[in-house]
A and B are shown apart, each in its own frame.
Chain A
Amino acid sequence: MEEKNFVSIEQKVIIALKKGKSWAFKAIFNEYHLKLYHFSKKMGLSHEDAEGLVQEVFITIWEKRAYIKEELHFKSYLYTITKRLTIKRIRRLVLENKFQSDSQSNSKDVNHETEDYIIFSDLMEHAHTSIEKLPADRKQIFMLSKQHGLSNQEISEKLNISKRTVENQLYRANKTLREEINSK
């Protein structure tokens, strides 16, 4: 007796997906995209990142379709991919964020320095008033870092404050200015 015939509706869809049928791919998208999107948002991703994640997951599903085992639970397989990609994205955002607040203290990555400089030049052009509005302490630290190019260590020594405080103040300044610029 052909084992192949004893399938459920989902298995039929998966088998068709493996054969490259676009209706099957669309059926799976219809079934799961919303859950994937809201799961990503709950994991703290923005709307754009969540949409990006849904795209990544489905593209992966399509590219790796030959390896799917239809006899196993597809939803679990889908979750495995989703979980991996979501956590990967979160970690990347965290590390980028961390680097922003560390600023020039570990300057090996030229790209980020360039980015900082571009942000700074941009800021100077568009956010002159926003920078002026920063609290005096914060503004001073910000200018020492961005305009004078001092490292966090150097700033902390110069102003006789902890390196931790410098980092915090820079983080806050960056955040405020970014928000102000984005809202324009």
Chain B
Amino acid sequence: MNKDLIRKHLSGDCSFEEEQQALKILSTDEGLEILSDLADEFWEGELNTEKIDDKKLYQKITAKLPSSHTNYWKYVGYAASIILLVVSAYVISKNSSSLDDTASSIPVEMVSKTTSKGQKSTIILSDGSKVILNSQSAISYPKYFTDSTRNIELEGEAFFDVTKDKTRPFTVSTGSTKTQALGTSFNINSRSSFHQISLVTGKVLINTHDADAFILQPGEALEVNIDNGQAHKSAFDSEKILSWKDGILYFDDSQLQDVINTLELWYDVKFELSSDQIAHKKYTGRFENASLRHVLKSMSFALDFEYTLKEKNVTIVTN
């Protein structure tokens, strides 16, 4: 059948004679129809997902856009660090962005909620949205959201369960990164210079800076390097990322140093290691509403160490 022949030609599997025949067909009206059908088939089907150099490609595109925008595009393409600086200043000095509707000039009553180490907190916002704040984190938000926006600022880590409201986008700002949703649930971890936004349900729009944005689908995460403005998508292990909000400690082949960092925040204690070499050991474990003693006991068996717990200080001694 001619369609199969063309299909073969497109995938480069034709013999010389078949190739000649295919080329002949392709220059006819029938060829046009076949191409159209195959195009539809390919578009709907599975495609390769191997990444390409999109940075270069995007630069090529913006270079060809009309000159009235050329300078701006070049600025966008090359001066990432400068943009971040400018945008940070911009964001600090002006409350609204291209995403928001114009900021209200009426002073709004703001609320701040903070957690210390060893603390977690669940907060219900005026629209019914739920925020679970992890240890050593803070959020600030208007007591009553405006008619057109729901803006929140976050430091640290929190899980958001956003009430659906298409008339008012829900925007969480962590520095220059803005995550916007209409009705979704997602986790934001902004503790380090790598902010991670992990989407559970719905869709979010993330503006990493003035000239770059990403749309996330459920199950996808975006990791933003706030030092250089670069961001990339990945899939995430929901157990690893979300367990904390249900009071579950979950470690999957994690470095002991990372485990310790988590435990320090979780239980509000300070760890001291007798030797540094143990810090690189890997640990896997899961604890539900467990006491620190219980966790330490399990870990000490798995990693072969001894520990002492005195008030808020834990000392680990390697055998």
Contacts and interface: CB of A to CB of B under 8 A. Distances in A.
Contacts of A62: 65
Given A6-B167, A23-B212, A94 B23 contact: yes
B94 interface: no
A83 interface: yes
A7 B164 CA distance: 12
Contact of B215 (A16, A31, A90, A91): A31
Contacts of B54: 29-30, 33-34
Nearest to B9: A44
Contact of B76 (A16, A22, A97, A172): A22
Interface string A149-171: 00000000000000000001001
B180 interface: yes
A38 B10 CA distance: 13
Interface size class of B (residues with CB under 8 A): 35 or more
Contacts of B256: none
Interface in B55-102: 57-58, 60-61, 64-66, 69, 72-73, 76, 98-99
B273 to A, nearest CB: 42
Given A30-B214, A34-B49, A87-B39, A12 B205 contact: yes
B38 interface: yes
Interface string B199-219: 000011101011111110000
Contacts of A94: 23, 26-27, 31
Given A26-B213, A59-B65, A5 B167 contact: yes
Nearest to B73: A22
A23 B42 contact: no
A13 B10 contact: no
A9 B23 contact: no
Nearest to A35: B47
Contacts of A63: 66
B107 interface: no
Contacts of B213: 13, 23-24, 26-27, 30
B215 A10 contact: yes
A138 B207 CA distance: 61
A146 to B, nearest CB: 21
Main SS of the interface on chain A? Answer: helix
Interface in B172-214: 180-182, 203-205, 207, 209-214
Contacts of B64: 55, 59
B203 A38 contact: no
B43 A38 contact: no
Interface in B40-57: 40, 42-43, 47-52, 54, 57
Contacts of B73: 22
A75 to B, nearest CB: 9
Nearest to A16: B98
B60 A55 contact: yes
Contacts of B203: 8-10
Contact of A42 (B42, B169, B205): B42
Contacts of B39: 39, 43, 83, 86-87
**Most-contacted residue by chain B among A9, A21, A83 (CB, 10 A):** A9
**Most-contacted residue by chain B among A12, A20, A26 (CB, 10 A):** A26
19 contacts: A5-B167, A6-B166, A8-B203, A9-B205, A12-B205, A22-B73, A23-B211, A26-B76, A26-B213, A30-B213, A34-B52, A39-B43, A39-B47, A42-B11, A43-B39, A43-B42, A54-B61, A83-B40, A171-B20
What are the 10 tightest A-B residue pairs by CB atom distance, in nearest-first order?
A27-B213, A44-B10, A38-B47, A38-B48, A23-B213, A94-B26, A5-B167, A9-B203, A22-B211, A42-B42
